[in-house]
Structure 1
């Protein structure tokens, strides 16, 4: 199947709850948003140990919790191909996407206010949903996943190649962070467990009225770190910095890395889990592909700021809070003297 803008605007491709949006404004295929100069710190993965690279990484982790990665070693052709196949996948009918994942390790979700760390999509009513649909892909199970849908099979093969690069990047960055923090983690691999890696592929619809809501509400990730391959033409990702929301400019052949709650706890709050959100674009839909990696479930995270907890404890608390109070509370639940 060849992707065209009209495929993406096919109303049948949207989950029913998203079909009432005004998708009829013609998209602008050649339009790239003009943004202010990009303030996001840039980290050169290839030169991490040269030219004060580790110092720059330390500053980015402490002051921002998010940075742009260049010279990351992922072929540009692979990044582009992932985006194009994702567009083809989302252009299929809602029913075929939903049916293709039934009984498989891959899950299809939509309108979710929050994805729990286990990948479970939690739904809300149609008036306060987020404007998003997506696929949740546990990378450790890719070899056991044999989809009947050709487009899903295509993205599976691409992700099998992509996960090798993601693991390499995450490991390289985590080792540099541990060195900067002067931590003694034994075994350090358990704090960044490759078997926990997952990819979420998102589609955010465009809408002429961007006040209708958010593509994704403001939140922090529960991961150690997240690595984002975002649409290089359509902006939408925003991060909170010094009480102001900044747009993370889309730039081709770069990846966005943001730290999550687990890294903040491991670092004893020296590094920050950045709050971020996704806005709706009024001209184009936006595709993003994000990798999340976590500690092993039974690894105890010890910190002067928090009571000892495992990732399993954290995940269970997040799920409980979403059910009882309607949102993720996160790390504050584990602070010393926190009343449960």
Structure 2
């Protein structure tokens, strides 16, 4: 389903959120030149050697790397190495909190190559557009759900916004690997800008459906936090990414979360913060090898 941000239809938005948990967004106001420029800059950065990417994209004082490979960024560092080779995601990426971009040395270690500054500036501009779009969509959802707008204001905080830039290398045996394993996002909203290679699939009516890429459009999907906020009226969409045997795929995804300390209250879930949720997810991944998610906070129907 396609929605026009310039004249957002609340009924169509509600239908998409209840029945799909995902929709295509057009007339979003982001220049196509910026969208393609960001993907192109990222592609150039991905062309560096593995060792160079690890060295350049590490905040040395804190020993924190924004570069990841073979596993989603939320998985504990090094977990990919401990997993069976066939279960490692065929992906690499950069995980960039937008609030920290103003310090050019935070991630780029004082590099003089103009590519680093141009990438940072593109991300800053792109992040402003993402914040605007996410807030517009979320406020429309709040109206649809008849939620208290004051109470809901902290349920989405632009200060939590981050961008993950992904590269999915081509793989000759594409049927034997996934670019990203089956999952739901932990966010309130996720907004995807992808190239034309395709590969995103969503699970609906017990089957996998390919989301066809359309130039200039964005894909918005609901995450676990939005499902809880909506009291399960809106659903966090289950999705995955298939790799391509002939072409590599590049995408840029924006994620936004509840504000720090914001308590999500629902008749179906115990009160929790996103920090509570994230800690539980990390624990489950470490001990079980997979994310359990919202089920950990579900109020038992027998209670």
The 4+ residue runs of structure 1 with deviation greater than 4 A are none
Gaps of 5+ in 2: none
Q: Note the C-alpha offset of 1:338.
A: 8.8
Are 2:279 and 1:316 aligned? Answer: yes
Which residue is 2:55 aligned to? 99
Whether the aligned pair in 2 keeps the contact of 1:106 and 1:138 (CA below 8 Å) is no
Q: Aligned partners of 1:122 and 1:302: how far apart in 2?
A: 32
In structure 2, the partner of 1:138 is: 97
Deviations 1:28-77 (A, max 9, x none): xxxxxxxxxxxxx00100011xxxx1100000000000000000000010
Shift of residue 286, structure 1, vs aligned partner = 0.2
Q: How far apart, in 1, do the equivalents of 2:200 and 2:116 lie? A: 25
Whole-angstrom distance in 2 between the partners of 1:187 and 1:156: 34
Q: Secondary structure at the match of 1:307?
A: strand
SS at match of 2:17: helix
Distance in 2 (CA, whole Å) between partners of 1:264 and 1:228 is 19
Matches within 5 A, 1:206-225: 206-225=170-189
Q: How does 1:1-340 map to 2 (within 5 A)?
A: 41-48=1-8, 53-103=9-59, 107-112=66-71, 114-116=72-74, 122-123=79-80, 124-125=82-83, 126-146=85-105, 147=108, 148-149=110-111, 150=113, 151-231=115-195, 233-337=196-300
Counterpart contact for 2:226–2:236, Cα < 8 Å: yes
Larger strand share, 1 or 2: 2
Q: Secondary structure at the match of 2:6?
A: coil
Quote the Cα distance in structure 2 between the aligned partners of 1:108 and 1:229.
19
SS at match of 1:298: coil
Deviation (angstroms), 1:128 = 2.2
Tell me the CA shift for residue 120 of structure 1: 5.8
In 2, Cα distance between equivalents of 1:75 and 1:46: 14
SS in 1 for 2:270: coil
Structure-2 change in CA distance of 1:43 and 1:312 (3 Å) = same
* Cα-Cα RMSD: 1.7
Q: CA deviation at 1:83?
A: 1.0
**Structure 1 pair 289/106, CA: closer, same or farther in 2 (3 Å)?**
farther
TM-score, length-scaled by structure 1: 0.82
Q: CA deviation at 1:273?
A: 0.1
Q: CA deviation at 1:154?
A: 2.1
User: How many angstroms apart in 1 are the aligned matches of 2:104 and 2:189?
Assistant: 25
- Tell me how far 1:116 sits from its aligned partner: 2.0
So what's the TM-score if we normalise by structure 2?
A: 0.92
SS in 1 for 2:144: helix
